[in-house]
Amino acid sequence: MDYQVVSVKQALSMPVGSAIEARGWARSRRDSKGITFIEINDGSRFKGLQLVVEAGAVPAETLEAVTTGSCIAARGQVTESPAAGQPVELKVEQIHVYGSADPAHYPLQKKGHTMEFLREIAHLRARSNTFGAVFRVRNALAFAVHQFFHERDFLYVHTPIITTSDAEGAGAMFHVSTLEPGQFPKTETGEPDWSQDFFEKAAYLTVSGQLEAEALALAFSKVYTFGPTFRAENSNTPRHLAEFWMIEPEMAFYDLKDNMQLAEDFLKYIIAYVMEHCEEDLAFFNQRIEPTVLQTLEHVANSSFEHITYTEAVNLLQKANRTWEFTPEWGCDLQTEHERYLSEELFKKPVIVTDYPKIIKAFYMRLNEDDRTVRAMDVLVPRVGEIIGGSQREERLDVLRARLVETGLPEEAYWWYLDLRRFGSAPHSGFGLGFERMMMYLTGMKNIRDVIPFPRTPGSAEF
């Protein structure tokens, strides 16, 4: 007999009577006298396929090797299930065991585990319900990002991962070098002599593709990057990784208003996409991880974002009838407690705060007429905080040079960035979205280490 090879996802919608072969990893096994139930999952869907093996259907030694965690192929007939829990199941005629798993040592049990424990077995945790759902959503979200920009004629560009320029003078960077630690060449003054290194100057892993994206936006008008970025900060929080993915659109001829509109459209689009394509996984998150996930996502998709300036935000915070750990004061950056108050308590929806004081923002943000504030925007969302940071960029050569000097950055290192203002400069804007932050927002997962397959954090890069 011919058996059609199908995924578990396909198997669950096959007509009764189909002869199929399904492959997957056994999640659970229940034995009764004369009948065995095995649930397999191949990652194609949250729900698994129930295999029903009647006594004598397959050799005893084969059935014995089908343990929790083993990988098998099963052939048989799709049948209507007489019991609750699944509409169809597979009445098994043959089983092939690709690889058994010793139940005494297989670490994933049928019962729930803590996220901390699963993190220690990151090579196996994708086989659990939670992480299966997380990484399917991650895939859908990445696809939604590309689709959004391609529908709007953006060019997907690849900015370098190894860089010799420090994007904003902010954030510690990882050195990239081929020099041997023991025989590190030194200059006459005893400093490391990077001119003898591979790139003949100090090189790092990128902290942002923005500066290069600006160069490309001033040729292709609308571009976006989507790639890994690296921060060597020693920050130990549930919201930081040393290696994370960032999406950075950059648009010529966009002012801050256009930029804000794009950010709002973008967030709504990717949320709607994931809600449409990951219904089963999101339902799981809503039930087991964070009971407000669906409600919040629907709310964001259907409400317009609040817009306030930094100065207005500080006034609102000062007027708020509550005590702060850090007193809100013009000129100081908004603290986590302030951001949470604005998005979670006062407006109860995403808030875009604009026009921050120039002293707390990067040199490349466009200076306002008041000479005190810059055209920056931060999108704050409930539960996660700052999810997007962006700005209209300074396109005026003289102003940009003055800002470089003001912030103490070496002008010569930014020669090519300044060239962009010398030759055919144009107003332009862009923003950055932390992909894993967005994942936390969509799934309700509490720790950023649990929305990326193999997280890198200080002291931790095992897998």
Partner RNA sequence: UCCCGGGUAGCUCAGUCGGUAGAGCGAGUGGCUGUUAACCACCAGGUCGCAGGUUCGAGUCCUGCCCCGGGAGCCA
Measured from the CB atom, is 22 or 246 closer to RNA?
Answer: 246
| 27 C-beta neighbours (distance < 10 Å), count | 19
Please tell me what DSSP assigns to residue 305. P
Strand order in the sheet with 385-392: 155-156, 222-230, 243-252, 428-434, 385-392, 373-381, 351-357, 306-309
Query: How many whole angstroms separate alpha carbon 325 and alpha carbon 334?
Result: 12
User: Which of 194, 352 has the CB closer to RNA?
Assistant: 352
DSSP assigned state of 43: S
- Residue 364 CB, nearest approach to RNA (Å): 11
- Cβ-proximal residues to 75 (8 Å cutoff; 6+ apart), any chain: 3, 19, 20, 21, 92, 93, 94, 95
One DSSP character per residue, 281-295 reads HHHHIIIII-TTHHH
- Measured from the CB atom, is 278 or 448 closer to RNA? 448
Nearest Cα neighbor of 383 from 317, 315, 300, 314 is 300
Minimal CA–CA distance to 199: which of 165, 170, 233, 226? 165
| Closest approach of RNA to the CB of residue 257, in Å | 20
For RNA, the closer CB: 32 or 178: 32
- 132 versus 432: smaller Cβ distance to RNA: 432
What residue type is 130 in one-letter code?
T
E strands, 273-384, where? 306-309, 351-357, 373-381
Phi, psi of 93 (to 5 degrees): -110, -35
**Residue 293 or 438 with smaller CB distance to RNA:** 438
**Which of these, 54, 40, 35, 34, lies nearest to 11 by C-alpha position?**
40
The pair of three-digit structure tokens given for residue 287, joined into one six-digit string:
């039930």
Its sign, for the CA torsion 249, 255, 260, 265, is negative
- CA–CA gap between residue 463 and residue 451 (Å, rounded): 15
Least Å distance, CB 165 to RNA, is: 15
Q: Is 372 helix (H, G, I), strand (E, B) or coil?
A: coil
**Token duo for residue 282:** 């999101």
* Minimum gap (Å) between residue 200 Cβ and RNA: 29
Closer CB to RNA, 215 or 376, in the complex: 376
Q: Least CB distance from residue 53 to RNA, whole Å?
A: 10
Residue 187 CA to its chain's centroid (Å):
41
Q: Least distance (Å) from RNA to the CB of residue 197? A: 26
Q: How far is the CB of 326 from RNA (least distance, A)?
A: 6
Residue closer to RNA, measured from CB, 261 or 336: 336
Looking at beta carbons only, is 107 or 160 nearer to RNA?
Answer: 107
| Shortest spacing between CB 47 and RNA, in angstroms | 10
Query: What is the distance between the alpha carbons of residues 392 and 362, in angstroms, rounded to a whole number?
Result: 11
Going through 385-449 in order, the beta strands assigned E by DSSP cover 385-392, 428-434
Q: Which is nearer to RNA, 29 or 425 (CB)?
A: 29
- Shortest distance in whole angstroms from residue 442 CB to RNA: 14
Count of residues in the chain: 463
28 vs 368, which CB is nearer to RNA?
28
Q: Which is nearer to RNA, 80 or 276 (CB)?
A: 80
Give me the least distance between CB of 103 and RNA, in Å please.
4
Smallest separation, CB 129 to RNA (Å): 10
What does the DSSP 8-state code read for residue 363? T
Do 168 and 208 meet the contact criterion of CB atoms below 8 Å apart? yes
CB of 178 to RNA, least distance (A): 26
